[in-house]
A and B are shown apart, each in its own frame.
Chain A
């Protein structure tokens, strides 16, 4: 045993969560095991209505023979259970969360209060424009700001997440080409792309054509030229790409794709890096999705909800999903569906309360603040790359943008320690792990995105921990993490003996 993470002396330096007190290492029972027949938390107002029974209200062929069994607990036990669960959960509010590509920045509390205002939270989505002027004005203003940030012409706020935004963009692409009598069959993506890109391409009815990256870590222009023809509907690019590198040839790529009549799709996962610095519209992109839960600080909620608005150039605007929030000639607000709209991407208007949070974040930052966000995000990621030189291999050791990708190849060869082991060791150190094994084109990849909200002290503590892990790498790392609520989890067993519910035990 090289080091016992539970016996470290002294206090934790900035940004790490190793100071959280835990009272023990027992598992928390499920709410079903806490249930006791007849116990209850609920109470309801007196409706003063006739006491019609189920038999009187429901035709016999529809009436359930017995009620659905749910947990029967007191409110006190219910709240205690979920509070204990929250103590078994890492979060941005506890410490640094350098998950590459996920932009786990601090989520300002102001935005929580904005989204909780009853004037937003208790408005019915079918209520007409006359009763929802504030909501529609917010959507219009947010859309205008997002168009300004991306350099685009018009936007839909309906897509509820990034992947939904991607599919929206591909359906727009399809509608555009179909309207030109030239449907096309293929969409090009680089080999460094997020998995959602090829999956969305398939759902958009296209075939994926993959182009390799070159020795710089950028799109290989010759390989791209070789696959471009008039059957290419478009290309999906992340810029900066998933290696954290800016696609310097973007203007040439745009010209090449437009030359064959294709469209450029911008995957906004990494938009945080370029706020106020450069804009997808200025680079030549036709369609842009944004992850408001990354760039615009909507908290990720343990996996959602997010929001994935899609902005487009003028020639694609007539195809946007509808209805769109609009400012009317008399200064009031209403809805309008574009003439050749592809339809709807959501049952209502999108993830509205997430849009309120993003709008509050935009107002607080303003144009100057957004530029400062990009600068600090890029500065932090470059600092981290330089700090990790020597301890880790850096396959593309050149100026990066908001994230850097390092490799644990040498640790694997010399000590049998893999990227996943490094990740688990970092958990013991009181930090969340980076993204591992992505992008796929880097062996033993560790993708680190500090974000702009981490201080220099936190960066130092994080880098120190990563360097210490590399220097102390040994077989014992396979046992990490040891200080966490549970030890390494048997994922293979979960798939082999599937227990997806309490009742399947």
Chain B
């Protein structure tokens, strides 16, 4: 028997007799003989826990980690922020980790209240009234925003800023093959989106999607994007950065109808890209189109405050083929991490993370732009990330900088003219920044 099966041989005999079978093989009599796997799975036999840990440790050691091997100056949607012990030590309590979706609210108040608090903090960060209980990641949150906007406006053309993360745009295109939505990329000009003055031919957009700050780290003009959306009666969808939200105006106050984002910077390690956290919030007029789970406050039979998943008739298990989203399992545990981290930061700490990241980014920017042969990709203002052009390909710089102990940044694709995207968080110090600039100067020489 496997490690985690509790039965003794006596248990099995007793149970087989109880159900009227002679052997374990008889349990599978309903499986046609021809379909039964002869000889078992071609997998190695099971290992002890300790051998498994040796093997995964071997694999973990074959990576360069930003904790010990490399000092991280990479961002591009995945950021190296501090995570206090209180976050994982608390969120990783097994009551949170090993619970299912809160289908029985009377025994799930812990997860439900944590999600209610999470929804409140995300609504405040985005400046909108309602946030859901999480989606998979920033990319799929953009997909859901577009699906909501198309359903709300009845128009399936969507203008997508070229400043939206390229992997997210690739994800949008993949999902659009099923929905049939027409995605029109709008190029950047000196770091910010150049929106068409007219309808661009054909049906006007039902939605306009812009990232703030955008992939190159530049601050887009949301007031202008709002005007563009208004010209076409479109919804304004903004993919925001929750860290930058510590010092920037909220997208909601600048006119966004739907705000999405990647929640990884608050409480989730880099994790090679997942599990991350899709942030999603809307103006209250769109609440009945919100995808995924939504927790609401209510009362129990004795009049005590209680929490429950609500507006359930939107969801796939009830609405089936008429549901506007198919999401069921989401990223609840990551949302709990985010809620704890945001409460650990509080009002002043959120601002500190944003300011300290911005200071480190400015110092890094000034240091690397002073190097001969390094130039800024765009002149638009940046906050916590910036793009540079180098005499070498971005990929080559990243490889060479690893030998100097740095993850130098994220190489940029041809649509941005190549180069490197560089980010610095509140973890980066003056001495690390000086060493980074010195190493960069050395490797491109």
A401 to chain B, nearest CB (A): 8
Cross-chain contact B329 with A163 (CB below 8 angstroms): yes
Check B246 for interface membership: any CB of A closer than 8 A. Answer: yes
Check B197 for interface membership: any CB of A closer than 8 A. Answer: no
Task: Bits for B60-72, please: 1 = Cβ < 8 Å to A, else 0.
Answer: 1111111110101
Contact residues of A between 16 and 41, Cβ < 8 Å to B? 25, 27-28, 30-32, 35, 39-41
> Which partner residue on chain B sits nearest A104 by CB separation?
B100
Question: Would you mind naming 28 contact pairs between A and B with Cβ atoms under 8 Å apart?
Answer: A27-B305, A27-B306, A31-B117, A52-B359, A75-B84, A82-B340, A94-B95, A108-B4, A119-B61, A120-B272, A122-B80, A127-B64, A127-B74, A167-B326, A195-B315, A195-B317, A198-B316, A199-B321, A203-B175, A205-B179, A248-B31, A303-B134, A344-B139, A352-B274, A489-B300, A491-B105, A494-B308, A498-B310
Cross-chain contact A47 with B430 (CB below 8 angstroms): yes
Cross-chain contact A301 with B97 (CB below 8 angstroms): yes
| A505–B119 CA distance with the chains assembled, in angstroms | 13
Cross-chain contact B362 with A498 (CB below 8 angstroms): no
Cross-chain contact A501 with B130 (CB below 8 angstroms): yes
Interface size band for A: 35 or more
A84 to chain B, nearest CB (A): 8
| A75–B87 CA distance with the chains assembled, in angstroms | 10
B249 to chain A, nearest CB (A): 5
Knowing A70-B343, A370-B2, say if A301 contacts B99 (CB, 8 Å).
yes
Q: Which residues of B contact A251 (CB under 8 A)?
A: 32, 34-35
Cross-chain contact B177 with A97 (CB below 8 angstroms): no
| A123–B20 CA distance with the chains assembled, in angstroms | 53
Interface size band for B: 35 or more
Contact residues of B between 21 and 55, Cβ < 8 Å to A? 21, 24, 27-32, 34-37, 40-49, 51-53, 55
A200 to chain B, nearest CB (A): 4
Q: Which residues of B contact A205 (CB under 8 A)?
A: 177-180
A54 to chain B, nearest CB (A): 5
Check A69 for interface membership: any CB of B closer than 8 A. Answer: yes
- Binding stretch for chain B, among A3-11, A131-139, A411-419, A465-473: A131-139
What 13 additional pairs, Cβ within 8 angstroms, besides A305-B332, A456-B6, A487-B106? Answer: A64-B249, A70-B343, A71-B343, A89-B107, A113-B53, A137-B62, A164-B140, A245-B30, A278-B37, A349-B272, A379-B7, A456-B11, A495-B311
- Binding stretch for chain B, among A170-178, A222-230, A310-318: A170-178
Q: Which residues of A contact B109 (CB under 8 A)?
A: 28, 85, 88-89, 485-486
Contact residues of A between 303 and 350, Cβ < 8 Å to B? 303-306, 308, 321, 342-350
Knowing A455-B11, A487-B302, say if A72 contacts B347 (CB, 8 Å).
yes
Task: Bits for B7-24, please: 1 = Cβ < 8 Å to A, else 0.
Answer: 100011011101111001
Q: Which residues of B contact A194 (CB under 8 A)?
A: 317
Q: Which residues of B contact A91 (CB under 8 A)?
A: 94-99
Q: Which residues of B contact A44 (CB under 8 A)?
A: 82, 352-353, 356, 426
Knowing A64-B247, A119-B65, A363-B55, say if A488 contacts B300 (CB, 8 Å).
yes
Cross-chain contact A54 with B53 (CB below 8 angstroms): no
Cross-chain contact B329 with A162 (CB below 8 angstroms): yes
Knowing A57-B359, A124-B80, say if A107 contacts B349 (CB, 8 Å).
no
Check A13 for interface membership: any CB of B closer than 8 A. Answer: no
Check B296 for interface membership: any CB of A closer than 8 A. Answer: yes
Check A390 for interface membership: any CB of B closer than 8 A. Answer: no
Q: Which residues of A contact B115 (CB under 8 A)?
A: 302
Cross-chain contact B104 with A199 (CB below 8 angstroms): no
Cross-chain contact A57 with B306 (CB below 8 angstroms): no
Q: Which residues of A contact B137 (CB under 8 A)?
A: 160, 346-348
- Binding stretch for chain A, among B165-173, B198-206, B225-233: B165-173
Cross-chain contact A174 with B177 (CB below 8 angstroms): yes
Cross-chain contact A302 with B272 (CB below 8 angstroms): no
Check B369 for interface membership: any CB of A closer than 8 A. Answer: no
| A148–B65 CA distance with the chains assembled, in angstroms | 31
Q: Which residues of B contact A490 (CB under 8 A)?
A: 298-301, 306, 308
> Which partner residue on chain A sits nearest B346 by CB separation?
A72
A209 to chain B, nearest CB (A): 10
Across the interface, B272 reaches (CB within 8 A) one of A113, A348, A497, A504, namely A348
Contact residues of A between 371 and 425, Cβ < 8 Å to B? 371-373, 375-376, 378-380, 382-383, 385-387, 399, 401, 423-424
Q: Which residues of A contact B362 (CB under 8 A)?
A: 52, 57
> Which partner residue on chain A sits nearest B395 by CB separation?
A128
Q: Which residues of A contact B57 (CB under 8 A)?
A: 117, 119
Check B101 for interface membership: any CB of A closer than 8 A. Answer: yes
Check B237 for interface membership: any CB of A closer than 8 A. Answer: no
Across the interface, B30 reaches (CB within 8 A) one of A246, A305, A423, namely A246
Cross-chain contact A49 with B429 (CB below 8 angstroms): yes
